[in-house]
Structure 1
Amino acid sequence: MKVLHVISGGETGGSRKHVITLLKQFAKNEVVLAVFQEGALSKEARENGIHVEVFQQTSRYDLSVLKKLARYIRQERFDLLHTHGPRANLFGLYLKKKTNICWVTTIHSDPSLDFMKAGVKGKIFTALHLYAVKKMDHYFAVSERFKKNLMAAGIRGDHITTIYNGIHFTEEKAVPVPRAELGADKDDVLFVMVARLHPIKGHEIVLEALQKLENSQVKVLFVGDGPIRSELEQAVDRRGLSGQVHFLGFRKDVEEIYAASDVALLASYSESFPLALLEAANQHLPVITTDVGGVNELITNEKTGWIVPTGDADLYRQAMEEAIFRKQRGELAKMGDDLYQHASRHFSLTNLYEMIRNTYERLLS
C-alpha cells in the first residue's frame, strides 16, 4: 500500500498536528506528504522522518503544480490519495480525473465556513469546495455529528467512516513553562487557547467574556498565529485588556504551556473533533468549549469541563466564572484528572491509526 497525503503546507494548527502524528505511525515507504509551500508543517514532518515532496506554487492560484502532481502519482504508482483542507480538496478534483486514483479526505472543519469574511471570493471558493467534497470516494468524519453533517449534504452514510482524532497520551505531565515567562503570576487564573487566529475560532467571544469578567487576576494566552492577529490585537487594546491577554504566536512547547495553565479554552463556531482539547486533556486540564463537533463525546459538562453554545459571550463568561470558583475551592485538578482518564482510554493515537489503516485496506481490496 502506498498513500499520498496532500495538504497546502501553511497549516500551523490542529490539522498540521493531525497529519504529522498520523503519518508517523505508518512505515516510511507507505506514505508521502505533498505540500505546496515550505513551512512549519514540512519542517516538522521531515524532523519526524516523513518523506515530504514540495510542489512549490508561485501563488495559491498557480495551477501548474497539478500536472506535476498527476505525473508524480502515476510515476510513483500511489494506490490512494488522501487530501486535507480546501486547497488540497479542490486540487483533488483534477488529480482524480487524470489518474482515477482512489480519493479520500479528512475534513478538519466545516467546508461551508472555511472562507468566512472573505467576501465574494470566499463565496466562490466555498461553492467550489462543497462541489469537490461531494466527488470523493470516501470520507473520514472525526465525530458522529460531523458524519451527520456530511450526510445532510447528500453524501451516503456508507461512504463515511467515523474516526476520532487521537494523540499519544503520556503518563507524566510536561514540565511547565515558568508563569513569569507567560506574563502571569502564580496566583492568577490562567486560561490558554491554542487555535489558529482565524474568525472561525471565536477569539472575539473569549475577549468579550473576559471584558465582562472584570477580574484583573484572570490572564488569557492565545497560542497560534493567523490572518486576523492584528485585528485581535486591536480588539484587545480597544477593550482595555492588554495587561490580561498575551499573544504567544506559533509555539512548539504547547504541552509545557498547557502544564502551566489552569483551564484550556475553545470558542470555535465550527470544529470536527478538536485535537487541541486532547492535548489539554493529556496535561490534565479541564476545558471550556463551545458545542461543536464531537466535544460532547469528550467533555462531560460541569464534571470535566464546560460546554456552552457557540457565539454566546455571556454563557462563556459564566463558565469562566465557574472555573475560577472551582479553582478557589481546589476542584480544578480533579476535573482535569478525570478528563485525562476518559480521553486516554477512548482517543488514543493507536485507535486512530488502526481504524484509518483498516479503512484504506478495505477501500483497496
Structure 2
Amino acid sequence: MILHIISGGETGGSKNHLLSLLQELPKDQVELAVLQEGRLAEEARAFGITVHSFQQSSRYDVSAIQKLKKLIEAKHVKIVHSHGPRANLFVFFVKKMTKFYWMTTIHSDPTLDFVKGGIKGRVFTALNRSVFSSIDHFFAVSERFKQMLVTLGIPAEKISVIYNGIDFTTPDSPNITRTELGVEEESFVITMVARLHPIKNYPDAFELIRKLREKGHSVELLAVGDGPLKEDLHQQVKAYEGIHFLGFRTDVDAVLRQSDCLLLASTSESFPLVLLEAAKAKIPVLTTDVGGVRELIQSDEMGAVVPVHGIDEMVLEIERLIGRKAQGVLSEGGQALYEHASNHYSVTQLAKATWHTYQQHME
C-alpha cells in the first residue's frame, strides 16, 4: 500500500498535481490522507479515491501524528509519499516510530514557502529544511528544481525528475463570453491564474498593464485566484485600470479560451501546471524565468520567458504578441504550444514514471 499525505487546504497547483496523479494510479493500492478537509478531499472522493481525514483542530494539533502512525500500521503501508512542509513535518515524527519508505514531491522552493511569514515563517522554514535528511527519496518537477535540492545538500542519486502533467483529453467547461467576464471584445486579454500570494508577484502584473495602457494599448488583466493577499491587492488595484479579479473558479479552462495569452509573473515556481492549462487552451504564455518553464517554451511563437521583475521585457513581449494577433497568427503559437505540451507533459507519463519509481522501492 502507498499512502499520499498532504495538508488538505491546497487550492492551486499542488492540489491539481496530486489529484491528476492519483486518478491515474491503482486505486486499490494508493490512498490519500489529509490533515484538514477542503476542496482537495472533496474532489478526491468524487474521483473514487479513498481519503483518510485527520481533521486537526488547528495546525498545531499533534494528535494527527498518532492517527497517521495507526493508519500506516493498519494498512501495512510500504511507501509514504508526502506533499508540502506541514505533511513533511508529521511524517518526520511518525517515521521515528514505525517503518516505511518515505518519498516527497517538492512543489515549491522550500526557502520561500513561508515568505513574509515573520518569525513563524522563519521557524517553519527551518523545521521543513531540518526534516530533509530523513526523507528517502525526492521527486523534483523540473531539472532546475533538482539542482536546487542538490545545493541544499540532497544527494543527486536521491532525486528523480518527473515533469508535471495534465490530462489533455478531459472535457471542456461550458463556454463563457468576454461580456460575462467583464472585458471588452476588442481588448488584448491577459489572464493570470495564481494564488493571491507574495510569490505570485501580482504587483508586477498590475504595473505591466499600466505601462501597456499608458502606451495606448487596449489591454485588460483577468486575475483568477484567491489567497492571503486578497485585501491588500484589492486596495492596490484601485490605482489601476483594466484589472478584474475573478476569484477562485472551477472553469479556468473557459476563462483561458477567452484570453489572448497567459501571464505568470512569479518570483519562484517548480513547473507550473497553469502553463499546461494554457497549452490545452491553445494560447501562448508569457512567464518569468522560474523553475522548468524554459523546458516547455520552445519557440517565440509559443510565448516568451523573461527575467523575474523584468517588467520592461514583459511590455515588449506583450507588444510582440499584440502584433501577432493583429497579423492573425497568434493562434498558431497557441497550437504549437498545445502540440508540444500534449506530447511531452501528459498525466500518463507523470503516473507511469512515478509508479516505476515506487516499484523500485516496494520490495
Give me the TM-score of the superposition, normalised by structure 1.
0.96
Contact 2:206-2:240 within 8 A present in 1 as well: no
Match for residue 250 of structure 1 among 245, 248, 251: 248
Assess, with a 3 A threshold, how the Cα gap between structure 1 residues 172 and 66 changes in structure 2: closer, same or farther: closer
Task: Tell me what 1:185 maps to.
Answer: 184
CA, structure 1 residues 316+167, in 2 after alignment: closer, same or farther (shift >3 Å)?
same
Matched, 1:25 2:24: yes
Q: Which residue of structure 2 aligns with residue 291 of structure 1? A: 289
- Please show how residues 30-109 of structure 1 align to structure 2 within 5 Å: 30-109=29-108
Q: Is the 8 A contact 2:279 2:338 kept in 1?
A: yes
Deviation at 1:269, TM superposition (A): 0.9
Matches of 1:329 and 1:135, distance apart in 2: 56
Question: Which segments of structure 1 move beyond 4 Å, counting only runs of 4 or more?
Answer: 171-175
SS of 2:301 mapped into structure 1: coil
Alignment correspondent of 1:217 = 218
Task: For 1:39 and 1:15, locate their aligned partners in 2 and report how far apart those are by CA, in whole Å.
Answer: 14
After superposition, the CA RMSD in angstroms is 1.5
- Which residue of 1 is the match for residue 309 of structure 2? 311
User: Matched residues in 2 for 1:315 and 1:276: separation?
Assistant: 21
- Distance, in Å, in 1 between the alignment partners of 2:124 and 2:143 is 26
**Paired amino acid for 2:52:** E
What fraction of aligned residue pairs are identical, expressed as a percent? 49
Q: Distance in 1 between matches of 2:353 and 2:189?
A: 36
Give the distance between the partners of 2:273 and 2:353, measured in 1 at CA.
Answer: 17
Cα shift readout 1:297-354 (whole Å, capped 9, x = no counterpart): 0002522111001122222222222222221221210010000111111111111000
CA distance in structure 1 between the partners assigned to 2:310 and 2:229 by the alignment: 20
* Counterpart for residue 270 of structure 2: 272
Q: Measure, in 2, the Cα distance between the counterparts of 1:315 and 1:176.
A: 32
Compute the displacement of 1:172 (Å): 8.2
Measure how far apart 1:131 and its partner are. Answer: 1.3
Are the aligned partners of 2:324 and 2:330 in contact in 1 as well (CA < 8 Å)? yes
Q: For 1:117-128, list aligned pairs within 5 A.
A: 117-128=116-127
Q: Equivalents in 1 of 2:299, 2:124: separation in Å?
A: 36
Match of 1:230? 231
- Residues 301 and 332 in structure 2, CA contact (< 8 A), matched pair in contact too: no
Distance 1:321 1:118 in 2: 36
Letter in 1 for 2:90: F
The separation in 2 between residues aligned to 1:133 and 1:273, in whole angstroms, is: 21
Residue aligning to 1:240: 240
The CA distance in 2 between the partners of 1:221 and 1:323, in whole Å, is: 17
Task: Report the alpha carbon displacement of residue 196 of structure 1 after superposing the two structures with TM.
Answer: 1.2
SS of aligned partner of 1:351: helix
Task: Answer yes or no: is 1:165 the counterpart of 2:164.
Answer: yes
Bigger shift: residues 250-259 or 207-216: 207-216
Match of 2:82, SS? strand
Q: 1:155 and 1:246 mapped to 2: Cα distance?
A: 42
Q: 1:173 to 1:49 in 2, by over 3 A?
A: closer
User: What residue identity is the alignment partner of 1:217?
Assistant: S
Distance between the aligned counterparts of 1:231 and 1:358, measured in 2?
45
TM-score (norm 2): 0.96
Partner AA of 2:226 in structure 1: D
Aligned residue for 2:227, secondary structure, equals coil
Task: Indicate if the aligned counterparts of 2:168 and 2:280 stay in contact, CA closer than 8 A.
Answer: yes
Matches of 1:285 and 1:133, distance apart in 2: 38
Question: Which amino acid in 2 is paired with 1:21?
Answer: S
Aligned to 2:329: 331
Query: Which runs of 5 or more residues in structure 2 are unaligned?
Result: none
User: Offset at 1:182?
Assistant: 0.7
